[in-house]
Structure 1
Amino acid sequence: MTTPPGPPPLDPEDDDRFRRERDTEPIPRIRPEDGPPPDDGPYPGSSPYPEAAGYGAAGSGAWGSEGYRDEEGYRSAPRITEDELAGLRVDASGMPLGTRRVLPLEDEPTPLVARYLFPTERYRGEWKRHWVHLATPLVVGILATFILGYLSGFLAGQNVGALTTVAVILWFVVIGWVAWRVADWYHDRFILTNKRVMVVNGIVTRHVAMMPLARVTDMKYEQSPLGRTLNYGTFVLESAGQEQALREVKHLPNPNELYLRVVEEMYEPQAVEARLGKEADEAKADDGA
């Protein structure tokens, strides 16, 4: 039994020419009148064309029941908006150019804080404690005003001048204590630099507690239900199981943004520097314009 002759061998030059023409052949555009596309997608019952998923309408310029079609009726690739691309763009440091998840950094420290910074560290920000830190003294002051005011009026009607004077003096003492607590709250700051975190408080006797960022082994923040409602929290910093002057800081505002700020400073200091340099260049360009 003789074997039928096979096809003649291809010329190598013809074979290369065939591959080039096949690889560079443009994909034809399909008009609506060409009929539905074949169901030859990568999986059984699927199709590589968007109309198989039930999208597109002819001439609508958008996705509908027949795939994406432009104004001429051709099927084409989906359009990606600028908003969708914004999340994919990054700057030279690799940081996204989209919406920030952290608050902008302050330029200069206040005189209250500047005295505690050494020349080679870079200032990142300072924060006063949340106003809820003053809840107790404010409530005491309000109650004392109503109670002692009523009591002094009642005693004045009873012609008891000495007790009325005592009630008024007691009210001044309470209000003075409230004013002291408010002033102490104003001078109480949580400070972040590229080297350390600090807490400075006190009016007559100043207390300065600090922890180097390189020594922080764990950091977390806690929010009670009231803290989530009013947007404050408590920060807890750990340092290799050792005793430290700064461990728990209560009633800090915007805890999530502040947490991201501290963590970024701990793990991505180069990205912070790059972002600050870019912001400084943009500010100079705006001033020049």
Structure 2
Amino acid sequence: MPRQLLEGEDLVLRLHRHWILLGRWLGLPLMLLALFCLALYVAGDRMPGDLKLFLLLLALAALGLWTIVAWLRWTAVSLTLTDQRVILESGVIGRASKVIALDRVQDVATRQSPWGRLFGYGTVQIDAMGASGTELVPYVPGPERLRDEVFVQSGASRRAGRT
């Protein structure tokens, strides 16, 4: 969450990237662990039991460390929509953020692959006036919902600015 919302600013939506990324990052290590366990099983009595246990625990520790890294990578990128701006943040230790005022948003486009349509994720492209230009945010869960909510909030922001 952004460290501090502006005075009078309300949180509308906060998103992390879609969980499918965790599956992509953990799929291969899980398959390798399964193959490793199968190899240990096939080795049977040809390998001492203590060595098999040690290797299995070592493989599980490596998978646990990889899982922690994958989770940190997944949580490192977030998108926050308030009633005044869109905030894109990335990083775990060092943080970078980009803020787009809603009254500067010109267009919001979405793209979904067949897998994205099946699992409910896609890429959101936010076009803003000025130097900020275009921002691409991949693996957004429910990209149409985000697009529609940005348009609703952007329209409300523009209407409020006219009165």
* TM surpasses 0.5: yes
Aligned partner (choices 38, 63, 73) of residue 150 of structure 1: 38
SS in 1 for 2:97: strand
How much has 1:203 moved relative to structure 2? Answer: 3.0
Between Structure 1 and Structure 2, which shows a larger proportion of helix residues? Answer: 2
Work out whether 1:205 is the aligned partner of 2:94: yes
Classify 1:132/1:120 alpha carbon distance in 2 versus 1 (closer, same or farther; 3 Å).
Answer: same
| Structure 1 CA distance for aligned equivalents of residues 96 and 70 of structure 2 | 15
1:130 aligned to which of 9, 15, 18: 18
Tell me which residue corresponds to 1:251.
Answer: 139
**CA distance in structure 2 between the aligned counterparts of 1:129 and 1:234, rounded to whole angstroms:** 10
Change (3 A) 1:165 1:211: same
| Matched-pair contact (CA < 8 Å) for 2:103–2:157 | no
TM-score (structure 1 length as normaliser): 0.46
**Counterpart selection for 1:219 from 97, 104, 108:** 108
Mapping 1:43-62, distance limit 5 Å: none
Q: Return the structure number with greater strand share.
A: 2
> Once the 2 structures are TM-superposed, how far is the Cα of residue 221 of structure 1 from its aligned partner?
0.8
User: How many pairs were matched up?
Assistant: 159
Kindly provide the amino acid, as one letter, of the partner of residue 135 in structure 2: R
Give the whole-Å Cα distance in 2 for the aligned partners of 1:122 and 1:217: 21
Partner of 1:284: none
State the 1:171 CA deviation: 3.9
Give the deviation of 1:248 after TM superposition. Answer: 1.0
1:27-80 residue CA offsets vs partner (Å, 9 max, x unmatched)? xxxxxxxxxxxxxxxxxxxxxxxxxxxxxxxxxxxxxxxxxxxxxxxxxxxxxx
Once residues 147 and 132 of structure 2 are traced to their aligned partners in structure 1, the CA distance between those partners, rounded to angstroms, is: 22
The 8 Å contact of residues 148 and 168 in structure 1, kept in 2 or not, is answered as no
Does the 8 Å CA contact 2:16/2:78 hold for their aligned counterparts? yes
Could you report, residue by residue, the CA deviation over 1:86-108 in whole angstroms, capped at 9, with x for unpaired residues?
A: xxxxxxxxxxxxxxxxxxxxxxx
> 5+ unaligned residues in a row in structure 2: which ranges?
none
Alignment of 1:1-289 (within 5 A): 113=1, 115-154=3-42, 157-159=45-47, 165=54, 168-186=57-75, 188-240=77-129, 242=131, 247-269=135-157
* Counterpart residue type for residue 7 of structure 2: P
Greater relative CO (CA pairs within 8 A, separation 6+): 2
> C-alpha separation between the residues in 1 aligned to 2:78 and 2:109?
19
Q: Secondary structure at the match of 2:47?
A: coil
Q: Scaled by the length of structure 2, what TM-score is found?
A: 0.76
Equivalent residues of 2:77, 2:90 under 8 A apart:
yes
CA-CA distance at 1:258 after TM superposition: 1.6
Instruction: Check conservation: 1:141, 1:175, Cα contact below 8 A.
Output: no
1:98-145 deviations in Å (ceiling 9; x for gaps): xxxxxxxxxxxxxxx152423242221212322212121231232132
Distance 1:250 1:210, change over 3 A: same
Q: Structure 2: which amino acid aligns with 1:226?
A: W
Supply the RMSD in Å over aligned alpha carbons.
3.0
